[in-house]
């Protein structure tokens, strides 16, 4: 979820933090699936792994 979408949903602070934690976990899971010999590797364009790595680093802060 984008931060703008989260702002439109009535979540408690604790719920919002859980959503952010799940986003980090899902992003890391996708990164691992895209890694060398990962199951998603043959189906994605060149550069996908690098873009996902940037996303993971951004979400981890």
Cβ-count burial 16-51 (b if 16+ within 10 Å, e if not): eeeeeeeeeeebeebbeebeeeeeeeeeeeeeebee
pTM (predicted TM-score): 0.74
- Give pLDDT, residue 54: 94
- Give pLDDT, residue 42: 77
Reading the chain (61 residues) residue by residue, the pLDDT tens digits are: 456 777 888 889 899 899 989 999 999 999 988 887 788 777 888 898 899 999 999 999 8
Domain boundaries, the chain: 3-60
- Give pLDDT, residue 50: 92
């Amino acid at each position: 979820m984008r931060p703008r979408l989260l702002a439109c949903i009535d979540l408690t602070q604790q719920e919002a933090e859980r959503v952010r934690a799940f986003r980090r976990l899902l992003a890391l899971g996708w990164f691992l699936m895209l890694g060398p010999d990962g199951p998603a590797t043959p189906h994605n364009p060149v550069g996908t792994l690098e873009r996902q790595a940037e996303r993971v680093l951004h979400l981890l802060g």
